[in-house]
């Protein structure tokens, strides 16, 4: 390009509108300024105007850029060293930026870039115009110098200075001119020419996320500035008080979308809204209600050791960042002394937050010196610590200092001297703002400052800070007066009934006793103590506090455990504490946290003075003492009863007494039968056994037997489901379903269970016969302190009942004839024997038999002391397992001495033995033949030696034994095909007839020969014709179930083997029969072998 062309451009430059606009913006620096500068922009301007000259542009642009760079370098030389250094550094650092720059050279052909370029060039590019097309460096420089010289000569020094500042303004520190400061802001309001402002929604997630987005917009804009797609954003901003949105200043909404594209956390889809031109300034004008921190005001600390503590501002630094505070120190009175001052200091830091916070305590020089033996690096004054805090570490809003805190501050002052540094007025001032918020129409207020001071009235309406009241009294009575809200306060007079609305004493009610300025003192309805609060926190209220009976998890009249020894009943709830009465009648005030647990005594019972049981909610009367009446609230350890009577004023009507001194107000049904063993229920008798009995089951009621049962739901939405009962409550059961892992509440009626033999579904309350459920009725649940017979839901649980009544359902169910007992129970023989313990003592075996629970009646009548009968039982328990073992019987000490030693069995202690009845079982179920043969043997001896011969006894004994026998042989053994050839020779013995009273039992133990037996259908009883040896009844048909094979008795007897691999073989007994019989076959006498006696059936000799 030639100079001529430059000239040409020069000429055009002056009229470039773009340039003019820029110039306007930067004050009227004059059109003539930088005559050399204009060509640059002019050239650009021209370029823009003649866009079709693309080729030329392409050629020129890179050159321009290069020149530009060169130009800058030139400029640098002229600058101060510092400036250059800075720049060079930047260069170095920004190497990538430089390469980017180079990149651009190839690309800057785009029209879009021109605007940017133009601005850029326009700022400092006048020289380049001159340089245009100069390839010869020397010539170029010379030209440049000359130009500049000429230009500068024309200028005044001021102009030169201005130019310089303007030229380099964007790169380095400018001379601060404050040039726009004179313009009022209203003149800066946006016009239609300005770019528009767009509101963009962003994510509200982390702290100042918006700030990051605004920042990344900036970075993005800079990054892509010289690429093909610059962002064209002019500015973007965010306000802390407008979370979730940012504002972008841009020409069109498309550009906003482009700018936001790809930024994380920006939601252009939520709408990019144009901010109307008249509202553009608003987001920038938002002013936070600034809480000015002035000396004397109250603040709280946000963090650290003093977090939340009230502090008073002492001074504020110039820039308002640091605030000097004074507050009550928290000095650890027992600093951990780990040797050496330095060491402790370090340690202190590390253990800082984990430690307990020392309490607030005024500084005391002596104490601290004693504790620390050195000086603390802190400033203390008047017991208060003075310390600097960052403003950001302080809470300025909603400080709401309480009276307590303030008084802590003031206390010290009172002690020393009265420099009124801390004044209640300050707090009043601080709380006044808040007071406005709590005013409500209808409140009675008074004016305490200003012209109208002293006027009082009722609030009509509140309009922000202006309150309209209807005045009461004096001349302006009835007039409406508008007042600033801050100069009125709520008015109370002594005698008003008030309620505290907010703060520490919230919900407290009481009667106002005095009013001092804005501090109202009232007597609390609940605690009857004086409480002082700010009037702003009060309202007039008719209600009386203590509206709730519950504090925390505890309610009025709950039985609570404070420690191991004391159980208390809550008789009064206060705001955050209880009044409790312990079992010794002492009254205490406790906080909820002191209570370790709540006790449930719903199922507890005790006995009253008459031995009757008493339960919760019974109306009882004291027998002695004051004769107070009341309803039982709780029973503790079956000994203490807590009663309540509204008529008693003391302790809220609750009193404690001993259960033994109570009698029922009304006679109750369901009295315990006189015959009942009271010693078991009587806590007084249980107590000596060591407390465990009583305490062991306190609070643990009897478990519902259905808990844990697997049940089938037969009705309702869950019909068909199977589950396990987890808990029951009355008729409702909580069932954990097998499926879905769900627990449902369901009526027990809808649940069925399966009963064992065939898995039949039956209702839950169905109980199979023979399950001894009859016991539940006569025995109240949980009697005698939780030994519940009903829990022993099996055939063995026979014990307690037999004392009342020998004919237990179990007995009947077992279909064994009780008759003989009833009849023989009172035979003289029995009584005689019970009075003559000798045989039992020396024999050591029989008493055990008789002591058997199944023969209680004789004792009841003969022994004469039925009440203590139960005492005899325990002796049996330990031996229960060895029932069928004779040797065990004889040696059992309990049997001989403990059980039968006359007085021993009247002792109350044995009552503790819970399951005496289990003893008889082993023999009952034992099918072992061994058991069957022995008793018979000595039974006879016994009878013989008994000094009181009694058939009854004999019979009884025998029968008893037999009854327990089961035939070791299968019912149809007689018809076994193995024996068919010897059937007519079999010797049999009649057994078990007495128990079933078969043929009156006359034939029991009679032996005879089988004359004939024919098997009949399975449905019929098998029978056989027997020819008996002794002639009473020569021949008789006997049911085969009563026939057992008779064992061989003598040597050379023939016998048939009944079982085993040699079954049916006829053998000859070779030695005297014992338990094992040595036998051999007739054919081969030499091969002898042993067979158990009970596996042999004696045969009559062959005819």
Site residues for another protein, 370-399, by CB under 8 A, read 391-392
In angstroms, give the least distance from the CB of 219 to another protein: 7
Q: What is the DSSP string of 634-685?
A: EEETTTEEEEE-TT--GGGGEEEEEGGGEEESS--SSPPPTTS-HHHH-HHH
Number of residues interacting with another protein: please give it, by CB under 8 A. Answer: 74
Distance CA 605, CA 683 (A): 10
φ/ψ of residue 686, rounded to 5: -80, -35
Among 280, 662, 962, 1077, binds another protein (CB under 8 A): 280
Among 60, 167, 211, 705, binds another protein (CB under 8 A): 211
Distance CA 1043, CA 989 (A): 6
- When the beta carbons of 227 and 921 are compared against another protein, the nearer one is 227
CA dihedral for 22, 26, 32, 35, sign (positive or negative): negative
In angstroms, give the least distance from the CB of 400 to another protein: 23
Q: Which stretch binds another protein (CB under 8 A): 286-294, 427-435, 1058-1066, 1068-1076?
A: 286-294
Distance CA 735, CA 738 (A): 9
Among 11, 20, 26, 370, binds another protein (CB under 8 A): 26
Q: CB–CB of 478/488 below 8 Å?
A: no
**Does residue 265 interact with another protein by CB under 8 A?**
no
- When the beta carbons of 188 and 453 are compared against another protein, the nearer one is 188
Element (H, E) at 953: helix 951-964
Token pair 């000859």: residue: 1068
Among 177, 351, 516, 695, binds another protein (CB under 8 A): 177
- When the beta carbons of 282 and 695 are compared against another protein, the nearer one is 282
- When the beta carbons of 21 and 530 are compared against another protein, the nearer one is 21
In angstroms, give the least distance from the CB of 184 to another protein: 4
Site for another protein in 694-733 (CB under 8 A): none
DSSP 225: T
Q: Which stretch binds another protein (CB under 8 A): 18-26, 537-545, 689-697, 1041-1049?
A: 18-26
Distance CA 241, CA 673 (A): 82
In angstroms, give the least distance from the CB of 297 to another protein: 16
Distance CA 542, CA 462 (A): 24
Element (H, E) at 842: helix 838-843
What string marks each residue from 319 to 358 as x (binds another protein by CB under 8 A) or -?
xxx-------------------------------------
Question: What token pair was written down for 1?
Answer: 């390009």
Site for another protein in 408-447 (CB under 8 A): none
In angstroms, give the least distance from the CB of 322 to another protein: 9
614-to-640, 672, 788 alpha-carbon distances in Å: 12, 11, 17
In angstroms, give the least distance from the CB of 124 to another protein: 12
Site for another protein in 546-565 (CB under 8 A): none
Closest to 532 (Cα-Cα) out of 549, 553, 518, 543: 518
In angstroms, give the least distance from the CB of 353 to another protein: 20
Number of alpha carbons in the 13 Å side-chain half-sphere of residue 44: 31
Q: CB–CB of 35/82 below 8 Å?
A: no
- When the beta carbons of 210 and 1004 are compared against another protein, the nearer one is 210
Distance CA 912, CA 516 (A): 71
- When the beta carbons of 195 and 722 are compared against another protein, the nearer one is 195
In angstroms, give the least distance from the CB of 390 to another protein: 8
In angstroms, give the least distance from the CB of 215 to another protein: 4
**Sheet containing 1035-1039, strands listed edge to edge, beginning at the edge strand earlier in sequence:** 1035-1039, 1023-1028, 1007-1013, 987-990, 1043-1045
For helices 424-438 and 403-415, the axis angle rounded to 10 degrees is 170
Distance CA 296, CA 645 (A): 57
Site for another protein in 987-1016 (CB under 8 A): none
Question: Where are any strands of DSSP class E within 1006-1075?
Answer: 1007-1013, 1023-1028, 1035-1039, 1043-1045, 1054-1057, 1066-1069
Q: Which stretch binds another protein (CB under 8 A): 45-53, 278-286, 906-914, 937-945?
A: 278-286
Q: Which stretch binds another protein (CB under 8 A): 10-18, 145-153, 218-226, 1023-1031?
A: 218-226
- When the beta carbons of 90 and 602 are compared against another protein, the nearer one is 90
Number of alpha carbons in the 13 Å side-chain half-sphere of residue 882: 16
In angstroms, give the least distance from the CB of 241 to another protein: 7
Among 9, 36, 130, 217, binds another protein (CB under 8 A): 217
Q: CB–CB of 65/105 below 8 Å?
A: yes
In angstroms, give the least distance from the CB of 307 to another protein: 19
- C-beta neighbour count of 116 within 10 angstroms: 15
Cβ contacts of residue 668 below 8 Å, gap of 6+?
612, 618
Closest to 266 (Cα-Cα) out of 276, 256, 274, 275: 256
**Does residue 194 interact with another protein by CB under 8 A?**
yes
In angstroms, give the least distance from the CB of 82 to another protein: 9
Distance CA 633, CA 594 (A): 22
What string marks each residue from 137 to 176 as x (binds another protein by CB under 8 A) or -?
--------------------------------xxxxxxxx
Strand pairing class (587-590; 578-582): antiparallel
- When the beta carbons of 294 and 617 are compared against another protein, the nearer one is 294
- When the beta carbons of 238 and 1040 are compared against another protein, the nearer one is 238
Closest to 780 (Cα-Cα) out of 658, 624, 895, 612: 612
As beta bridge partners, residue 622 has 662
**Does residue 309 interact with another protein by CB under 8 A?**
no
- When the beta carbons of 177 and 769 are compared against another protein, the nearer one is 177
In angstroms, give the least distance from the CB of 136 to another protein: 27
In angstroms, give the least distance from the CB of 333 to another protein: 35
- Residues for the chain: how many in total? 1103
Distance CA 212, CA 193 (A): 29
Site for another protein in 56-115 (CB under 8 A): 86-87, 90-91, 93-94, 97-98, 101
In angstroms, give the least distance from the CB of 54 to another protein: 25
Largest CA distance in the chain: 171
DSSP 639: T
Site for another protein in 575-594 (CB under 8 A): none
Among 17, 25, 565, 627, binds another protein (CB under 8 A): 25
Among 186, 349, 593, 1061, binds another protein (CB under 8 A): 186
Cβ contacts of residue 888 below 8 Å, gap of 6+?
879, 882
Among 160, 161, 188, 1032, binds another protein (CB under 8 A): 188
Among 2, 156, 181, 739, binds another protein (CB under 8 A): 181
Q: CB–CB of 1082/1046 below 8 Å?
A: no
What string marks each residue from 220 to 249 as x (binds another protein by CB under 8 A) or -?
-xx--x-----x-xxxxxxxxx-----x-x
- When the beta carbons of 170 and 1052 are compared against another protein, the nearer one is 170
Among 143, 218, 434, 1088, binds another protein (CB under 8 A): 218
- When the beta carbons of 188 and 589 are compared against another protein, the nearer one is 188
In angstroms, give the least distance from the CB of 401 to another protein: 24
Token pair 């097309």: residue: 133
- When the beta carbons of 250 and 681 are compared against another protein, the nearer one is 250
Site for another protein in 112-131 (CB under 8 A): 119-120
- When the beta carbons of 86 and 348 are compared against another protein, the nearer one is 86
CA dihedral for 474, 479, 480, 484, sign (positive or negative): negative
């Amino acid at each position: 390009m030639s100079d001529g062309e430059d000239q040409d451009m020069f000429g055009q430059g002056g009229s470039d509108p773009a340039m003019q606009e820029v110039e306007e913006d930067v004050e009227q620096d004059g059109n003539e300024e930088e005559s050399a500068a204009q060509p640059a922009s002019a050239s650009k301007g021209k370029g823009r105007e003649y866009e079709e000259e693309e080729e030329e542009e392409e050629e020129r642009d890179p050159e321009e850029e290069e020149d530009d760079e060169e130009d800058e370098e030139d400029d640098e030389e002229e600058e101060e060293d510092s400036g250059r250094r800075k720049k060079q550094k930047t260069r170095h650092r920004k190497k990538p930026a430089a390469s980017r720059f180079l990149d651009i050279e190839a690309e800057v052909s785009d029209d879009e870039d021109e605007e940017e370029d133009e601005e850029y060039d326009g700022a400092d590019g006048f020289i380049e115009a001159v340089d245009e097309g100069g390839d010869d460096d020397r010539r170029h420089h010379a030209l440049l110098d000359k130009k500049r010289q000429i230009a500068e000569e024309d200028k005044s020094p001021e102009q030169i200075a201005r130019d310089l500042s303007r030229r380099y303004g964007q790169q380095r520190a400018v001379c601060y001119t404050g040039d726009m400061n004179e313009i009022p802001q209203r003149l800066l309001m946006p016009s239609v020419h300005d770019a528009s402002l767009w509101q963009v929604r962003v994510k509200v997630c982390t702290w100042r996320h918006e700030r990051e987005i605004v920042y990344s917009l900036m970075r993005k804009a800079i990054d892509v500035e010289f690429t093909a797609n610059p962002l064209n954003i002019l500015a973007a901003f965010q306000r802390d008080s407008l979370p979730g949105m940012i504002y972008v200043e841009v020409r069109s909404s498309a550009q906003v979308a482009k700018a936001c594209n790809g930024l994380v956390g920006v939601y252009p889809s939520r709408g990019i809204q144009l901010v109307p031109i008249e509202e553009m300034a608003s987001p920038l004008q938002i002013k936070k209600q600034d809480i000015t921190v002035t000396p004397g005001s109250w603040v709280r600390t946000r963090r650290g050791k003093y977090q939340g503590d009230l502090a008073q501002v002492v001074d504020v630094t110039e820039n308002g960042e640091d605030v000097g505070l004074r507050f009550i120190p928290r000095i650890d009175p027992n600093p951990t002394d780990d040797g050496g001052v330095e060491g402790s200091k370090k340690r202190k830091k590390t253990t800082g937050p984990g430690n307990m916070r020392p309490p607030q305590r005024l500084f005391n020089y002596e104490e601290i010196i004693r504790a620390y033996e050195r000086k603390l690096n802190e400033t203390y004054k008047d017991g208060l610590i003075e310390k600097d805090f960052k403003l950001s570490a302080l809470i300025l809003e909603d400080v709401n200092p309480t009276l307590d805190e303030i008084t802590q501050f003031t206390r010290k002052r009172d002690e020393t001297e009265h420099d009124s540094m801390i004044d209640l007025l300050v707090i009043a001032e601080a709380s006044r703002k808040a007071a406005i918020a709590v005013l409500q129409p209808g409140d009675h207020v008074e004016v305490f400052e200003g012209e109208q001071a002293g006027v009082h009235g009722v609030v009509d309406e509140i309009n922000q800070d202006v309150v309209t009241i209807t005045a009461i009294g004096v001349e302006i009575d009835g007039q409406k007066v508008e007042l600033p809200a801050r100069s009125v306060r709520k008015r109370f007079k002594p005698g008003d009934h008030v309620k505290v609305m907010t703060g520490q004493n919230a919900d407290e009610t009481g009667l106002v006793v005095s009013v001092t300025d804005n501090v109202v003192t009232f007597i609390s309805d609940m605690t009857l103590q004086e409480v002082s609060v700010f009037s702003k926190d009060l309202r007039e209220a008719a209600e009386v506090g203590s509206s709730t009976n519950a504090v925390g998890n505890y309610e009025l009249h709950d039985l609570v455990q404070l420690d191991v020894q004391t159980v208390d009943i809550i008789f009064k709830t206060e705001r955050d504490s209880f009044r409790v009465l312990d079992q010794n009648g002492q009254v205490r005030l406790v906080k909820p946290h002191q209570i370790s647990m709540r006790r449930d005594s719903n199922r507890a019972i005790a006995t009253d003075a008459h031995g009757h049981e008493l339960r919760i909610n019974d109306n009882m009367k004291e027998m002695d003492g004051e004769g107070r009446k009341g309803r039982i609230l709780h029973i503790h350890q079956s000994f203490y009863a807590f009663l309540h009577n509204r008529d008693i004023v003391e302790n809220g009507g609750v009193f404690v007494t001993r259960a033994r001194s109570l009698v029922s107000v009304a006679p109750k049904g369901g009295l315990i039968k006189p015959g009942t063993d009271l010693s078991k229920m009587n806590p007084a008798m249980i107590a000596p056994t060591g407390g465990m009995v009583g305490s062991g089951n306190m609070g643990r009621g009897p478990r519902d037997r259905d808990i844990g049962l697997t049940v089938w739901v037969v009705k309702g939405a869950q019909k068909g489901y199977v589950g396990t009962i987890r808990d029951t409550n009355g008729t409702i059961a909580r069932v954990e379903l097998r499926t879905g892992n769900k627990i449902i509440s369901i009526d027990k009626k809808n649940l069925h269970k399966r009963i064992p033999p065939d898995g039949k579904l039956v209702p839950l309350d169905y109980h199979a016969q023979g399950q001894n459920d009859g016991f539940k009725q006569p025995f109240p649940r949980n009697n005698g302190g939780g030994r519940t017979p009903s829990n022993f839901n099996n055939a063995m649980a026979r014990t307690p009942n037999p004392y009342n009544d020998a004919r237990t359902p179990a007995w009947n169910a077992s279909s064994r004839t009780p008759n003989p007992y009833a009849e023989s129970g009172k035979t003289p023989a029995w009584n005689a024997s019970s009075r003559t313990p000798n045989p039992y003592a020396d024999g050591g075996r029989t008493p055990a038999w008789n002591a058997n629970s199944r023969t209680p009646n004789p004792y009841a009548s003969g022994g004469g002391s039925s009440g203590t009968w139960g005492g005899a039982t325990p002796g049996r328990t330990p031996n229960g397992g060895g029932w069928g073992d004779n040797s065990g019987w004889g040696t059992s000490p309990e049997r001989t001495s403990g059980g039968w030693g006359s007085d021993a069995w009247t002792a109350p202690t044995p009552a503790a033995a819970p399951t005496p009845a289990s003893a008889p079982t082993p023999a009952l179920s034992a099918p072992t033949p061994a058991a069957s043969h022995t008793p018979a043997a000595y039974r006879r001896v016994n009878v013989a030696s008994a000094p009181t011969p009694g058939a009854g006894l004999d019979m009884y004994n025998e029968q008893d034994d037999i009854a327990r026998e089961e035939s070791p042989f299968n019912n149809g053994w007689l018809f076994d095909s193995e024996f068919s050839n010897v059937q007519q020779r079999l010797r049999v013995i009649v057994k078990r007839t007495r128990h079933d009273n078969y043929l009156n039992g006359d034939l029991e133990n009679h032996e005879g020969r089988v004359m004939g037996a024919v098997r009949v259908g399975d449905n019929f009883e098998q029978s056989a014709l027997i020819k008996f040896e002794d002639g009473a009844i020569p021949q008789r048909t006997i049911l085969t179930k009563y026939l057992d094979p008779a064992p061989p008795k003598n040597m050379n007897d023939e016998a048939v083997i009944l079982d085993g691999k040699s079954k049916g073989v006829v053998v000859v007994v070779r030695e005297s029969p014992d338990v094992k019989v040595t036998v051999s076959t007739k054919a081969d006498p030499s091969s002898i072998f042993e067979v158990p006696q009970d596996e042999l059936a004696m045969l009559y000799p062959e005819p």
